Amino acid sequence: MKSLILPVSIHSKIISNMERHLPEEACGLITGKGNLARHHFSITNGLHSPYRFQMDQILLGIYHSHPKGPENPSLTDLEEDYYPDVIKLIGSKSSIQWEIKAYLNINSVYLQIPLVIK
Ligand SMILES: [Zn+2]
């Protein structure tokens, strides 16, 4: 059976977040490694309701860098794409600066999509 290990420190932060948002429902995201929680992100309940929640932010992208290129996703990126519906940002470094490009996995083919920096 799948389990989650929640360190006391994160457990406390979640409880605090729930208390702070009373009487509304609180919500957030937990990231970690394996089944061990490492970070907690409080997300605003967009409904501000005591009975329902709807996170007003969603996971939009996952980024990583290719310090020595290429600027596009690698075969490994495709093989290890555990979140195919999430936009991938890849930063590659030319001789002087970083450039970030955005990709979407469409049926196991990465399509570059517009990335607006503003
Ligand atoms: Zn990569």
Q: What is the mean pLDDT of each run of 10 residues along the chain (118 residues)?
A: 96 97 96 96 96 95 92 94 94 90 96 96
Contact 62, 90 (CB under 8 A): no
Which residues lie at CB < 5 A from ion ligand 1?
A: 74, 77
Q: Is this prediction's pTM over 0.85?
A: no
Dist. CA 26 → ligand 1 center (Å): 35
pLDDT at 69: 83
What pLDDT, on the 0 to 100 scale, is given for residue 59? 92
The confidence score (pLDDT) of residue 87 equals 97
The dihedral formed by the CA atoms of 46, 54, 108 and 69, expressed in degrees to the nearest 10 = 40
Give distance in angstroms: CA of 58 to centre of ligand 1: 22
